[in-house]
Structure 1
Amino acid sequence: MTVVHPISRAWITTGGTGAQNYDEFADDAEITQIIADNPRSALAIEMPHRAPGSVGRAFLDCLPDAAARLAQEQADGSYAAAADVVVLYRISAPGEPAAFGLWAMVDTDQISTSADEPGLVIRNEDVFIAKVRERVALAEALGTLLSPVLLLQTGKGEELHAALAAAVEAAGEPAATDVDQSGRTHAIWVVPEGPLQRELTALAGGGELVVADGNHRSLAAQTGGLPRFLAVVTTPDSVAIQPYNRLISGVPVDDLVTSLTAAGARVDPLPRPAEVPAKGTIELYAHGKSYSVSLPAEPGAPAVDNLDHALVERVLLRGALGLDPGDKRIAYVGGDYPAGWLRDEVDAGRADLAVLIAPVTVDDFVAVNLERQKLPRKSTWFTPKARGGLVLAQL
């Protein structure tokens, strides 16, 4: 019996509502501008306190606005209702292989976060509990889920990929398309109850599912007592991992080189601007200067504790800067923002330090998950990302 199920009460976009997920932004002002440019964007519902006219109000105080926006968009035809469906998903762009996925519901009680916790859905990163509470409150206010958890099918990934590609090829014109900020086209096709739906849900639930994106949303489903959560089940051939960097603000960094050297790090000035490095080193940028840094590993520690992102948390953030990784002065910046953008933020005085880190390799990601260990928070930026606001699940 599969852990992947049809969406009992779905709302399918008719166009214009798609959006980046709420946690993909380095600057909240970008969210406000997107909503101003497109009031139908799902971000206006997911982040109502960032909508024009609401900036400065508390998230919880804006939840009635979110519910009203959703009801209005359902009433005006921005979404079409559907029952007991799964939804085919293709993300494509010139020069890139197509990515495929399946929108569906997944059993929440299958989430596993440790080796002694049974379940086929593996969540692998630490989270920010304040964000989880916001997602729980939003789901309760709306009675609807707008953004999916991206799950990587590890057991039958090749079979699922082939089946999704074949189904899309035979599906005809999509129900809707949406173009994201990177120029990728997101297309969806609704699959009603029947043999194809049963085949796809069986393949999607045919092995361990790893949370590639949506650790907060999956924990919110658990915390909120939801029996199932909205997901896009995708395949290893459909994703890549990009860098996930950090910007630090409001912390003195004048003595950072001295502090890192005292902690056992090797710090070398760079004759060029800091860039995303190779695995095993990090690069820093502050006061117009760039450095290559080799952080000291902990002998005998599990491999996950000596990944570059873990060393940044332990040696740089906690040790040299005295910051908890959840500190608001740390901005976690995904791979959509290049190294030049991070350096510009420092040069403009909006940040004091840019920390550039090599992306986690797919091999490391798989190894950590098979051992049921947790990656440091915000260490994997999977691309392409599932688009929010295309398929909704009414609870």
Structure 2
Amino acid sequence: MVSLRPIQHALVPVDSDAARRISAPNYDEFQSDREVWELLQQEPESVLRVTMAHCHVADLASAPAEGGPEALAHSSSEMQSLVESPRMRRIDGLLWVYEITSPKRSDAPQLGVGGFAATNEIRTESNPDGVIVRNEGIRPEKADGRARLIEATNAYIGTVNLAVSDKSGGLTSELVRISTSQACDYETVDEAGNRHRVWLVTESSEQDQIIKLLAAEPAAYVADGNHRSAAAAQLGKENFLAVFFPTERLGLEPYNRLLPLSDISSDAGAWYRLLPKPGSYDENDAAGSIDADIVQQQIIAKILKIEDARDKRINYVGGNKDASYLQARVDSGEFDVAISLAPVTMDQFVAVCEQNQFMPPKSTWFDPKIRSGLVVALLDE
């Protein structure tokens, strides 16, 4: 049984213009602080001024340390400005229907429901029967950083993407009914051309029906946001901010690698197509048969001698960057080799979760991603 609860105190844009000005990509969609800073120059009201406050400066050269006392104090101040902004309004007791339409899959938009998920349902070693299944390990320093931001802002801004099977189709049908029976409350188009639309659900009978449908789900899989959910649990919070998407509506893109070659010589300026040899991996191991794990074990560890997938020499590039971006980084001399992988399938993702394993590091890039600032949960009493 998967729990969904309305947000006691939500902060939302007043209209679509406010949604455009305030909302932003999540912090982990950027390759560098420079990218964040440049977007803030274009959209100074963006919620990045709260979530990436160290980049909210006139000159990036004088930026404070990310997650340090100065940056967190600035996050707190900017959060208060957001609460008081005439572009935002407060709603108590909120669920919302959330649709994301990618230009790559315009005929199959992602459609989910947002609200509070329960931290005591997260599956851990001490809670092996938890129904919210993580797909990757937690880095304590990363969870600590998210926890410090939650404390500084007294809010959840980042949202966890949870996937549910919805084998009956009942949840999808109800969300389609709501989204087609009325105009959305606000919408915006992001930097990649994805359209985000939100329907605010405050009527108790509609909320009860959605909650009932989710309660029939045997499990929910963390598609994105493991550290955000871990941070809430670390702080002893009962809930974390989440959107539940049926798996059939979720899309995945490649998660690629840029690497140095060390002392190994290579012909420059060429792409090569590689396939794993039979027997080089265990086909019955759901995680070990993912391309990212095969590449790590057979190429990066054995040939490039970088055995730890967390080694900072490996630059992981999400699916929001295409092959031309990878090639440009190599052609510039910044890196020596790029590895482009096929995207993981939803069947592979679910199989790993059902085997109670973790996905290989940096192997799933769900796209489009949930946009920050479209719904914020305030944690004040």
TM-score when scaled to structure 1? 0.85
Q: 1:2 to 1:364 in 2, by over 3 A?
A: closer
Structure-2 residue corresponding to 1:342: 326
For 1:201, which of 197, 208, 211 is the aligned residue?
211
Q: Please give the alpha-carbon distance, in whole angstroms, between the structure 2 residues aligned to 1:221 and 1:361.
A: 29
Q: CA deviation at 1:256?
A: 6.4
- Residues 113, 373 of structure 1: 8 Å contact kept: no
Superposed CA offset, 1:61-109 (max 9, x none): 3011111111112212232111111111122356432221111000011
SS at match of 2:244: strand
Q: CA deviation at 1:368?
A: 1.0
Structure-to-structure mapping, 1:270-309, within 5 angstroms: 287-295=268-276, 297-298=280-281, 302-309=285-292
SS at match of 2:369: coil
Superposed CA offset, 1:225-283 (max 9, x none): 221100011112321111111112xx4444167xxxxxxxxxxxxxxxxxxxxxxxxxx
For the pair 1:362 / 2:346, whether they are aligned, the reply is yes
For 1:321, which of 304, 314, 318 is the aligned residue?
304
SS at match of 1:375: coil
For the pair 1:49 / 2:54, whether they are aligned, the reply is yes
Structure-2 residue corresponding to 1:25: 30
Structure-1 residue corresponding to 2:79: 70
Q: More displaced, 33-42 or 297-306?
A: 297-306
Q: Please give the alpha-carbon distance, in whole angstroms, between the structure 1 residues aligned to 2:209 and 2:321.
A: 38
Q: Please give the alpha-carbon distance, in whole angstroms, between the structure 2 residues aligned to 1:307 and 1:99.
A: 24
Q: 1:78 to 1:256 in 2, by over 3 A?
A: farther
For 1:218, which of 224, 229, 232 is the aligned residue?
229
Runs of at least 5 residues in structure 2 that lack an aligned partner in the other structure: none
Structure-1 residue corresponding to 2:367: 383
Structure-2 residue corresponding to 1:106: 117
- Residues 6, 94 of structure 2: 8 Å contact kept: yes
SS at match of 1:86: strand
Q: CA deviation at 1:43?
A: 1.6
Structure-2 residue corresponding to 1:351: 335
SS at match of 1:91: strand
Q: Please give the alpha-carbon distance, in whole angstroms, between the structure 1 residues aligned to 2:162 and 2:80.
A: 29
Q: Please give the alpha-carbon distance, in whole angstroms, between the structure 2 residues aligned to 1:156 and 1:391.
A: 28
Q: 1:49 to 1:217 in 2, by over 3 A?
A: same
For 1:192, which of 202, 208, 213 is the aligned residue?
202
For 2:184, which of 149, 161, 174 is the aligned residue?
174
Q: Please give the alpha-carbon distance, in whole angstroms, between the structure 1 residues aligned to 2:115 and 2:109.
A: 20
SS at match of 1:130: helix
- Residues 253, 353 of structure 1: 8 Å contact kept: no
SS at match of 2:58: coil
Structure-2 residue corresponding to 1:123: 134
SS at match of 1:303: coil
Structure-1 residue corresponding to 2:100: 91
Superposed CA offset, 1:108-156 (max 9, x none): 1111156981111111123443322211110111110101101111245
Q: Please give the alpha-carbon distance, in whole angstroms, between the structure 2 residues aligned to 1:300 and 1:11.
A: 47
- Residues 86, 103 of structure 1: 8 Å contact kept: yes
Superposed CA offset, 1:136-185 (max 9, x none): 11011111010110111124562111100101122x33222111112122
- Percent identity over paired residues: 32
For the pair 1:81 / 2:62, whether they are aligned, the reply is no
Q: Please give the alpha-carbon distance, in whole angstroms, between the structure 2 residues aligned to 1:79 and 1:156.
A: 37
SS at match of 1:393: strand
- Residues 156, 204 of structure 1: 8 Å contact kept: no
For 1:374, which of 350, 358, 363 is the aligned residue?
358
